[in-house]
Chain A
């Protein structure tokens, strides 16, 4: 048992480090607008891609490096040591890419994957609807065949990045007369298509990262269908399995940040960290943070041996999103009334605790809610039976719905 790379892994890591050291651009995050963030992210992604460091585990001919999973992990570990603009490609490269790689034609893969890897084209995930989130298969956006095209009508919601995306993957209902999982059909769609209207939604944080996306008589060529007609659920599962790998741990303040704050702020005229109740909370978070870190190491060891990680990766999101919420909240407790201040001139630590407090609720919902992830672990890891469903075997158009 050790933390060491194999000689080949060590050599690879050294190569990665050398390249990153020479190439990571300086970043001044102060007043980085969304447009500026996108510009910087695209430029960094292109630089990586040109040197063979984009989407490492993808095949070379599709813009990747044909690297092993463990090499991808090593790259991520090293890149994450730098403050590089990231995130806007995560949905495309993490979920849309693998879905395209599995279901698109050879020509389509040649056309769409390399620009996705290079960040030239950004992709989004058009899954959730007002009446279909956790119960994704309850979606209603309608697809009707018209010659060689499909006509799409309906509404998607919570679509992250739709407003700056070039393409999206889309699940629709092509047949409402069969049980819900059977009547779905899956497409990829040009976000500039006539009939698509995107409206930003303001989140509790005040930012607008996600959107409503309306489809009015949008035409999609049948050639842009992924999987068979009526087989869209199976295609969606491919996306969702990759989502679980892509989401992973929550960003934001972690143990080290709350530890530092507790050392620097006072309660009863002494550092907060001397307070027994504070120490108790800190110890719990330290153990959770390390438990996750070493769980990752175990997964990585399995990757080293060539195994694929399963749904147990969901542990990371369940634990880290809650921890983030608690740390954000506790950080503000330590600041007392001053903790509510979000004025840039007076707030502490760049407002990371307030940011976590307002951001964490979204993490507990996005990419599978805490409850849905618990169901997944219960069923796929522990082998417990599925929930009893009221809609099993019922034609979609006869399923009871919210008012």
Chain B
């Protein structure tokens, strides 16, 4: 009896592992937004047909305000058809990681099909496709745009040189977390370090050398303190501390603040408790909802955290699978959804929301703090929603979406939570393993 149920659980696990959360990434200057769902990239251009100089706007609050108004009035926004005439393969399985480069000219996507694709974030042409040996779980672009780094399911971090002489080079392994799944990869604000986080509660800051293809051997620090897998990382920078601080979210329901140069834990925020989401089931067990994603305005004045179950704002129950924020720190872009539900044949479902009103000069600023924008007020409006979600309104799909999100939750749990088997089960698993069977 017992034995059968273990087998069943394992088979189910395998199916669930394939379900991937929908991801969202916003251009650093909010020129465009990308949603990745399954193998699909949905890109939406937020700029006017006559693009203004965003970089200038960045340094000038007044212009930023104008830009924001433009977003609202703008009817020139459009869906971008991404072009891949490189002849390289397209994504065929779930995308697991996406990111923009710091200056917004490059975009990278990677995932279960072992492809790392690098795109021009202007023309949305695929400039380069790199074949990984294993499934890819995280990706990052160096600030100078010269290197793309990615991590595979076996904990190996690779780098590909980009531009110049590096054009033809293959990906080279630069360091590894020993046989752990790397969940997040990020360059420090000054570009000197690459930070990686894994399923074994570890965050590692490694010096990113000038010639990274020879390997990144010098570990600056380990940031240790989480008691479950790390799901997400983000940097914040203040004028007084331009090196930046690191924030990490975890399956342990906390967000922690680190001085990553020394590895010291500076502060722990029990997000799950604060959101009133930590429940006790009457016995000794406490159910702690996992932190799944985090984003921050560059100066750290706004930090948003996604927790499994529901987002801690607005009373509206919306459980994002991914969130992001441009460097203006004006909007938090949220998406919820899943790919590849084994039992569904309908298109992959996603729901996009935008939260605004953190800044006093924002038209959405209210005394009550940030608000979740009505569909009409979302930059790009209906057109954006149509592109990103597949349809303007997903009201009718609520139930399906709920199922999808539950499936993602399970899948992430199975992928990342360390299983605790009883001794009997462990013995049984050992006996059931094929390699052992052969020997006996």
Specify whether A and B are partners. Answer: no
Which A residues lie at the B interface, using CB under 8 A?
Answer: none
Which B residues lie at the A interface, using CB under 8 A?
Answer: none
